[in-house]
Chains A and B, each alone.
Chain A
C-alpha cells in the first residue's frame, strides 16, 4: 500500500469534521422545528461562493469575504424559515422536505446564473503543513478541525445561556415551554441562524479541498444528512461522530473503489446502520418519530 493507513485517517477525519459541522446544522434545525432542510448543502456551497467569488471588494480581502458568507447565509437561512417553511410546520414533515427540495432547484439555478457552471478553485485559507508523529497534516486540515471544535464550544456556551436554555426547552417540549413564555418561532429562527453559520463555515472550509461548482451542494448535503442519521438525527454529539465516521469511510472508499462508488458505499453503510439500529448510533431509542 503506497498511501499509509495513518495518512488516509488524517484526511478522513479532516473532511469528516467539515461534514460534522454541516450535520450539526441539520440537527440544530431538526431539534427545534422537526424539519429536514434538503437545501442545507446548497446553502453551504453558496456561503463558499460568497466568500471566494463574491462581489469585487469582498473577494479581494479574505476576512470580509468570509464574514459576508457566514452572515449572508445565516440571514438567508432565517428568511427561508420565516417565508417558506413556517406555514408548513403544522403539517407532516414531508411538506418541508418537498419545499426544501424545491429550494435546491432555486439555489442551484441561482448559483449557475450568478457564478456560471464552471468549477472555481478556492485557495487554501492556511498555507503550510506540520508533521505529527510522522503524519503529514496540512494547515487547512488543522483549520477544519479547529473551527469545528470552536463551533461546538460556542454552542455549549450558548446552550447554557438564557436563550440556549429556552431553545433546549422548546426542543424538549414545545407546548410547556410556550406556557412558560418561550416563543417557539423565535427559537426556530435562532436555530436556523446557527445552522446557517455552521453550514456556510462547512462550505467555506470544504471548498479548497473539493473545488466549487453549483451542483456540488446536493452531494455535500446528502453526505452530511447521512452523517446526521448514522449518529442519530437531532443529537449534536451524534452528528459529530457520524460526520467523522462518514468522512473516514468516504476517503477509504475513494481510495479503494474510486470516487464514483464512494457515495454508494456510504449510503449502503447508512442503510445497514439503520437496519441494525433504527435510530442511529447515538439516537435516543425512546424518541419516537411517529407523529
Chain B
C-alpha cells in the first residue's frame, strides 16, 4: 500500500503533520513537565513513568500490533540494566560503549524469544516467554556478578556534553521525556508503515498475508526484536533512576504492570498505552507507599478495572471519537 506523502489523502492527517504533532508535544512536555512538578517525589514518579512508557511502547508493538503475547519485557529491561551496570562500574567501560553492549545482549535474548515465537502460538508463546522471564529472574538471584537477592549499584547517570546527567537531576527527567516521546513517534510511524500494516494483517489472517507475498514469520520476528529494543533502552535508562538494582524490581510485579498498561490502554493504540502507562505508574507508586499490604488492594483494583472496562481506556475514548464528526475524518480510510 502506498501512502500519500506530504499532502493529506482521503482525509487522513499527513505523515509529516503527525510527526510534527508528536515531536512538538514531546518538546513541550520535556520543557514544561519538570518545571510544573519540581518536587523530588514528582520527579522520581515522572522518571519511572517515562521508563514504563518506553517499555510499553515496545510491548505494544509485539502484543498490540502483531498479537504476540510476549511476557519477557521485564527480563529485557533487566538484562540491559544489569549489563550496563556491570560494564560501567566493574570494568570502567565508557557509558555509551556499555549501552551498546547491553543492546547487543538484549538483541540476542530477543532473538531467542523471537525464535520461540516463530514456533508457538498465542497461549504457548505467552507461557514460554513467561518461563524465559522466570529463568532470567532466577539467574539474577543466583549469579554473583548481579549481587544476588541483595542487588548491586546501578549506573549513576548518562554522560552528555562533558557532564554526567545523574538520575536525580531535573535534566535527566527531561532526557527521559525526550526519549519516550521519540520512542512513541517511532512506534506510531511503525504502526502506519508498510510493516505495521503487515503486522496487523498477519494478526488477523496469516494465510492471506502469505498469499500477498509477505512473510508472516519475518514480520513476527521483527516485531519481537523491536519490542526487545524498546525494553533494552528502557532498562538502560532505568538504572540511574533506581540507583540500586535488585531482582525484585524486574519481577512478576513489573511483568503484570507492563502487561496491564498495554491491556488497559487498549492494545495497539500508541497514545492510549502511553496514557495508561503514566496513570498506572502514579497509582502503583501511591499504592506502594501507602501500606505494607498494598498488593492486596492493588490486585483487587486491577481485577475490578479489568472486569468493568475490559476493552481498556481506548475503548470509551474511541467510541467518543466516532461520535464527534469533526474528528471522524481521522479514522476514515
Contact = CB atoms under 8 A, between A and B. Distances in A.
Interface residues of A, number: 48
B38 to A, nearest CB: 33
Interface in A24-77: 36
Interface in B103-151: 115-116, 119-124, 126-128, 130-132, 134-135, 138-139, 141-142
B128 A104 contact: no
Nearest to A39: B299
11 contacts: A84-B307, A88-B306, A88-B307, A88-B310, A97-B126, A101-B256, A102-B260, A263-B138, A278-B119, A289-B122, A290-B121
Given A87-B307, A91-B311, A106-B299, A274 B120 contact: yes
What are the 8 tightest A-B residue pairs by CB atom distance, in nearest-first order? A105-B299, A106-B299, A109-B296, A105-B295, A102-B302, A267-B131, A102-B299, A109-B295
Contacts of A90: 310
A102 B306 contact: yes
B263 A95 contact: yes
Given A94-B259, A264-B135, A270-B131, A99 B126 contact: no
B131 A279 contact: no
Contacts, number: 138
A94 B126 contact: yes
Contacts of B10: none
* Most A-side CB within 10 Å, residue of B119, B123, B300: B123
Given A105-B295, A264-B139, A93 B123 contact: yes
A59 B259 CA distance: 40
A132 interface: no
B87 interface: no
B326 interface: no
Looking at chain A's contact residues, is the secondary structure mostly helix, strand, loop, or mixed?
helix
A241 interface: no
Nearest to B138: A264
A274 B295 contact: no
B204 to A, nearest CB: 9
A288 interface: yes
A229 B127 contact: yes
A36 B134 contact: no
Contacts of B127: 36, 225-226, 229, 270
Contacts of B308: 87
A101 B127 CA distance: 13
Given A98-B259, A101-B259, A279 B124 contact: yes
A264 B133 CA distance: 11
Given A105-B296, A105-B298, A289 B121 contact: yes
A133 interface: no
A291 interface: yes
Interface of B: 63, 69, 115-116, 119-124, 126-128, 130-132, 134-135, 138-139, 141-142, 206, 252-253, 255-256, 259-260, 263, 267, 293, 295-296, 298-300, 302-303, 306-308, 310-311
A102 B256 contact: yes
A99 B116 contact: no
Contact of B299 (A104, A274, A275, A279): A104
B260 A98 contact: yes
A256 interface: no
B199 to A, nearest CB: 15
Contacts of B120: 274-275, 278
B306 A98 contact: yes
B78 to A, nearest CB: 15
Contact of B296 (A106, A263, A267): A106
Given A105-B256, A289-B123, 12 more contacts: A88-B307, A93-B122, A105-B253, A108-B295, A112-B293, A113-B293, A264-B135, A267-B131, A267-B134, A270-B131, A288-B121, A290-B206
A179 interface: no
A101 to B, nearest CB: 5
Given A99-B302, A260-B142, A291 B122 contact: yes
A263 B135 CA distance: 8
Contacts of A290: 121-122, 206
Contact of A106 (B260, B295, B306): B295
Given A102-B303, A260-B138, A291-B122, A113 B260 contact: no
* Most A-side CB within 10 Å, residue of B119, B293, B303: B303
Contacts of A98: 256, 259-260, 263, 302, 306
Contacts of B253: 105
A261 interface: yes
Interface in A212-268: 218, 222, 225-226, 229, 233, 260-261, 263-264, 267-268
A225 B135 CA distance: 15
A159 interface: no
A3 to B, nearest CB: 23
Contacts of B300: 102, 106
Contact of B116 (A104, A110, A275, A288): A275
Contacts of B128: 229, 270-271, 274
A200 interface: no
